[in-house]
Amino acid sequence: MSPLLGQRILLGISAGIAAYKSAHLARLLKKAGAEVRVVMTDGAQAFITPLTLQALTGEAVRTSLLDPEAEAGMGHIELARWADTLLVAPATADLMARLAHGHADDLLTTLNLASDARRVMAPAMNQAMWRHPATQRNAERLASDGWQLLGPAAGDQACGDVGPGRMLEPEEIVTALTVGESAGQGGDASANASGPAAGLTITLTAGPTREPLDPVRYLTNHSSGKMGYALAASAARLGARVRLISGPVSLATPPGVERIDVETAEQMHAAALRLAVDSDAFIGCAAVADYRAAAPAEHKLKKRDDAESLTLELVKNPDIIAAVAALPAAQRPLVVGFAAETQDLEHYAQDKLTRKGLDMIVANDVSLAGQGFGADHNAALLLWRRPDATTPGRHQTATLTKTELADTILHHLLERLSARQASDPHTQDTP
């Protein structure tokens, strides 16, 4: 049974080219069992007609604040009381600014002030407008006022630019609403329970490991931890309980994230297995050393004048992501791995996805300049297993900031979780 069954969703549409997606969104919401009514701004009607939305929802579309035929001219109050969820998709930069500052100069902004409903928006605008400090301030203000912001995604835009600002696809929005509603029916609310990942526990690994050779030296790699920390921050913003198992990095703990510091692969392995069993999802983003010294020296290894080389005996470290994926079904979370490659990216990623029994993998080419270790930007290939198909699902991102990439990965993770819940008989209602 869909968690959206019987939910009363008031869909607000503002003036953006992404309004064409709102028709499909309305259809999907109706298919999920929700009752849907639509409010459109004047500008939205330049992109899509009220008649289209009326045909899809079976309800009259409201476009005017002062409508003498709607509840004696007070229809906005009736609508505000009717809704369980106020969903604005698309939400333009202008509408976000007006909502953030409490304007009530049309029907949609007035409904925001008059309603106690859950409030969700899917921003959509040019990438420069989204990145502008004023828009970012408005987004933060809206979030603090209780709005749940879904996206935006990144990619090609109608204006020809590439970057963040695309409205999430209707399927992604419905998934986010469904996961959030399912979590809300679970009873107890966590401190972060105000987003599409509310009620979920996500455990991550991040950063490098250090494998001691002696009290002074160690084996490690170039991982900065930025990608893992961006994922932790994104998961916390989406409302999840987040536990971050971190190797040694020079990064501040993201707000709302529980951090567990480790140094070696064995320490990370122990923490991962301990925390994974009560997690909904596990993301293995750390760059774990493949090998460690068989017997670290008790004292500093000295350079010898009579020896031109030094031989070290290394032994294999535990495979953390494979160990989590091999947990018994009752304890196993959804498992997401990472693959940092320098050649044949898709081939090696698909092999790792299958060989280690992962649900999803995020692969990136660390040989490309300005991407990967230590950089602030990255591009990734996402692959995921599909039980009813012989080939994995696939999504290639553009080059994004690591924050934007983290948001994209988390939205795909929520989709996978929703699909897993729908196919698991233990999560279905029993008669």
The answer to whether the CB of 370 falls within 8 A of the CB of 378 is: no
Query: Distances in Å between the alpha carbon of 281 and those of 63, 315, 334, 337?
Result: 42, 29, 4, 11
Same domain, 135 and 211: no
What residues form DSSP beta bridges with 212? Answer: 218
From 158, 181, 214, give the residue that closes a domain: 158
Q: What letter would DSSP give residue 177?
A: H
Say which amino acid occupies 13: I
What residues form the annotated binding site for CTP?
284-286, 290, 300, 318-321, 338, 352, 356
Close Cβ partners of 77 (under 8 Å, ≥ 6 residues apart): 71, 114
- The whole-number pLDDT of residue 39 equals 94
pLDDT band at 146 (very low <50, low <70, confident <90, very high): confident
Same domain, 283 and 377: yes
- The whole-number pLDDT of residue 429 equals 43
CA 415 to chain centre: 9
Same domain, 16 and 119: yes
DSSP conformation letters of 93-133:
HHHHHHHHTT--SSHHHHHHHH--SEEEEEE---HHHHHSH
pTM of the predicted structure, to 2 decimals: 0.58
Q: Tokens 């455990």 — which residue?
A: 203
The answer to whether the CB of 63 falls within 8 A of the CB of 105 is: no
In a domain, 337, yes or no: yes
Same domain, 205 and 152: no
Long-range contacts of 387-392 (CB under 8 A, 24+ apart): 387/423, 392/350, 392/353
To the nearest 10°, report the CA torsion of 325, 329, 335, 341: 30
348-378 per-position pLDDT tens digit = 999 999 999 999 999 988 877 666 666 778 8
DSSP conformation letters of 337-374:
EEEEESS-HHHHHHHHHHHTT-SEEEEEETTSTTBSTT
Report the alpha-carbon distance of residue 334 to residue 311 in Å, rounded.
Answer: 41
**Three-state SS annotation for 243-306:** EEEECCCCCCCCCCEEEEECCCHHHHHHHHHHHHCCCCEEEECCECCCEEECCCCCCCCCCCCC
Domain assignment of residue 104, given as a range: 8-158
> Mean per-residue pLDDT for 107-130?
89
Close Cβ partners of 132 (under 8 Å, ≥ 6 residues apart): 93
DSSP conformation letters of 68-90:
TTSGGGTHHHHHHHH-SEEEEEE
Same domain, 104 and 31: yes
> Mean per-residue pLDDT for 112-132?
88
In a domain, 363, yes or no: yes
In a domain, 178, yes or no: no
In a domain, 97, yes or no: yes
- The candidate with the shortest Cα–Cα distance to 106, out of 69, 58, 67, is 67
Same domain, 344 and 211: yes
pLDDT band at 150 (very low <50, low <70, confident <90, very high): confident
Asked whether residue 182 carries a pLDDT value surpassing 50, the answer given is no
Token pair, residue 97, equals 């600014």
The answer to whether the CB of 263 falls within 8 A of the CB of 210 is: yes
What residues form DSSP beta bridges with 259? Answer: 244
Catalytic residue list contains 159? yes
Angle of helix 19-31 relative to helix 170-184, nearest 10 degrees, comes to 40
Token pair, residue 298, equals 């008790």
Same domain, 147 and 255: no
Report the alpha-carbon distance of residue 428 to residue 425 in Å, rounded.
Answer: 5
Same domain, 28 and 118: yes
Task: From the candidates 46, 128, 158, 159, give the one annotated as an active-site residue.
Answer: 159
Reduced to 3 states (helix: H, G, I; strand: E, B; else coil), residue 153 is strand
37-52 per-position pLDDT tens digit = 999 999 999 999 999 9
374-427 per-position pLDDT tens digit = 677 888 999 999 887 788 999 999 888 888 899 999 999 999 998 887 776 554
From 158, 193, 210, give the residue that closes a domain: 158
Asked whether residue 190 carries a pLDDT value surpassing 70, the answer given is no
In a domain, 366, yes or no: yes
258-272 per-position pLDDT tens digit = 899 999 999 999 999
Q: Other C-beta atoms within 10 Å of 140: how many?
A: 12
Burial class (CB in 10 A: 0-12, 13-18, 19+), 49: middle
Asked whether residue 428 carries a pLDDT value surpassing 80, the answer given is no
In a domain, 336, yes or no: yes
- The whole-number pLDDT of residue 186 equals 39
- The whole-number pLDDT of residue 115 equals 87
In a domain, 173, yes or no: no
- The whole-number pLDDT of residue 180 equals 53
Report the alpha-carbon distance of residue 277 to residue 261 in Å, rounded.
Answer: 19
Say which CATH number the domain at 408 has: 3.40.50.10300
Token pair, residue 236, equals 């916390």
pLDDT band at 70 (very low <50, low <70, confident <90, very high): low
Most trustworthy range by pLDDT among 61-70, 129-138, 158-167: 129-138
From 158, 191, 219, give the residue that closes a domain: 158
Same domain, 207 and 346: yes
The answer to whether the CB of 72 falls within 8 A of the CB of 104 is: no
pLDDT band at 288 (very low <50, low <70, confident <90, very high): very high
pLDDT band at 200 (very low <50, low <70, confident <90, very high): very high
Q: Is the dihedral of CA 171, 44, 10, 50 positive or negative?
A: negative
Same domain, 281 and 412: yes
Report the alpha-carbon distance of residue 269 to residue 265 in Å, rounded.
Answer: 6
Same domain, 220 and 121: no
Number of structural domains found in the chain: 2
Query: Distances in Å between the alpha carbon of 173 and those of 59, 140, 317?
Result: 21, 20, 40
What residues form DSSP beta bridges with 62? Answer: 39
Same domain, 259 and 139: no
In a domain, 307, yes or no: no
Say which CATH number the domain at 140 has: 3.40.50.1950
Asked whether residue 183 carries a pLDDT value surpassing 70, the answer given is no
